[in-house]
């Protein structure tokens, strides 16, 4: 009997990935099916369905679920779910597909056959519908928001129904030893005898503030899963392979052995702030984590969210919505008078004594060749990041926002 938190929905993991003869037969059948091309976000969602990361979903959401998730943060049957998981196509293709038909799902970038969908429902997504989704999920419909832009670029019809998943794309090979499924992380936790595990969500290399957050969690839980996003990011963010190297170096040199595991998952970043924090907690429950570290501006972008909106949203959902609970930690920084890392809750000194840390601020300094202040990041991590920035032929302008400056 596992001592770990049970998967969301309470009925065990529900991976939809085919194997063996069933996979061979399904792939052969799929060659003759109508093809629907998926964006990288949709491909990542399909892989998460395949590996059980989105347990207990069985496929892409129908209109009732979509609307209920947007408006109430729950599926139509009442099960908590904070962000829609949908698949879109254009009206021309949708008109050629009959309800009840099975279609092949193909990644639009690689052309890889990723799975099949039995179309139980087709429903129109007007611009008004897309704006409705954006206002509820992102709290804005401004196209400058990268998550909004992706939703508004979607096709004007959603296809819904159960899926079968054929593979995990490039992730197992490209990120060998880092990319893991929920079954794999749960086995590691159980083999270590861990019962309480805190997930640390990141799309950035870890600076001193991140390191401090993880070490706080180690004091509370049996271990920490540093769980990084391996899908697509916005321009200017640091790619997964560079980030993995930097995080691995930090773990090797600055953490006690067997207290931390580095892993990755296949999603694109949505930049949905508080709603995405809830999704992060939900699928970390499927990965076996009892807690999610929620710091400043979790999953945020620009100035669209307050620095601690993601803390507050956990107080707004039903108490039984999730088993995985947030570890809410205030803004952390290096204080020269404390002579160490501290937070707003533990440091009594003034702003001039504090070195405020953020991933955006670090990326901006490195991209512009600026000197990084002492105590901002470990020297071994900085060496890896400087090599990466030196290799770039094109620079992306990185803008600082209020959440990155503390103003």
Catalytic residue numbers, as ranges:
203-204
Check residue 353 and report its DSSP letter: G
Q: How many CB atoms lie within 10 A of CB 56?
A: 17
The β-bridge partners of 22 are none
Give CA–CA dist 285/98, Å, rounded.
36
Structural contact between residues 79 and 182, judged by C-beta atoms closer than 8 angstroms: no
- Residue 159's contacts (CB-CB under 8 Å, 6 or more residues apart) are 36, 60, 87, 88, 89, 94, 97, 103, 117, 119, 121, 122
> Which residue in 43, 47, 85, 51 sits closest to 65, CA to CA?
85
Q: Are 136 and 70 in contact (CB under 8 A)?
A: yes
For residue 78, count CB atoms less than 10 angstroms from its CB and return exposed for 0-12, middle for 13-18, buried for 19 or more.
exposed
Distance between CA 331 and CA 49 in Å, rounded? 34
Residue 9: how many other CB atoms lie within 10 Å: 18
Q: What is the CB-side half-sphere exposure of residue 212 using CA atoms within 13 A?
A: 21
Identify whether the C-beta of residue 125 lies closer than 8 Å to the C-beta of residue 155. yes
DSSP-derived 3-state class of residue 141? coil
């Amino acid at each position: 009997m596992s001592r770990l938190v049970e998967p969301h929905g309470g009925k065990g993991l529900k991976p939809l990935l085919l194997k063996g003869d069933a996979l061979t037969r399904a792939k052969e059948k799929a060659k003759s099916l109508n093809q629907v091309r998926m964006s990288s976000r949709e491909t990542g969602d399909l892989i998460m369905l395949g590996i059980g990361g989105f347990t207990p979903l069985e496929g892409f959401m129908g209109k009732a679920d979509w609307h209920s998730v947007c408006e109430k943060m729950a599926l139509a049957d009442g099960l908590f779910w904070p962000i829609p998981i949908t698949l879109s196509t254009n009206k021309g293709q949708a008109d050629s597909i009959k309800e009840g038909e099975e279609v092949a799902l193909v990644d639009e970038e690689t052309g890889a056959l990723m799975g099949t969908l039995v179309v139980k429902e087709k429903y129109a997504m007007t611009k008004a519908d897309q704006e409705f989704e954006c206002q509820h999920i992102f709290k804005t419909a401004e196209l400058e928001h990268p998550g909004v832009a992706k939703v508004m670029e979607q096709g004007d019809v959603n296809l819904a129904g159960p899926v079968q998943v054929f593979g995990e794309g490039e992730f197992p090979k490209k990120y060998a030893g880092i990319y893991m499924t929920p079954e794999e992380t749960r086995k590691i936790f159980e083999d270590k005898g861990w019962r309480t595990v805190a997930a640390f969500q990141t799309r950035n290399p870890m600076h001193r503030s991140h390191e401090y957050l993880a070490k706080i969690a180690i004091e509370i839980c049996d271990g920490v899963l540093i769980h990084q996003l391996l899908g697509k990011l916005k321009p200017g963010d640091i790619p997964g392979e560079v980030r993995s190297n930097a995080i691995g170096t930090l773990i090797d040199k600055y953490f006690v052995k067997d207290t931390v595991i580095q892993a990755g998952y296949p999603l694109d970043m949505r930049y949905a702030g508080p709603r995405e924090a809830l999704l992060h907690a939900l699928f970390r429950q499927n990965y076996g984590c009892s807690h999610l570290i929620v710091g400043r501006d979790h999953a945020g972008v620009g100035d669209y969210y307050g620095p601690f909106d993601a803390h507050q949203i956990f107080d707004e959902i039903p108490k039984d919505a999730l088993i995985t609970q947030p570890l809410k930690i205030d803004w952390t920084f290096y204080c020269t008078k404390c002579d160490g890392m501290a937070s707003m809750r533990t440091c009594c000194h003034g702003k001039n004594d504090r070195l405020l840390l953020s991933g955006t601020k670090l990326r901006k300094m490195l991209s512009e060749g600026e000197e990084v202040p002492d105590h901002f990041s470990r020297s071994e991590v900085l060496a890896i990041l400087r090599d990466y920035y030196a290799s770039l032929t094109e620079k992306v302008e990185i803008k600082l926002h209020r959440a990155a400056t503390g103003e």
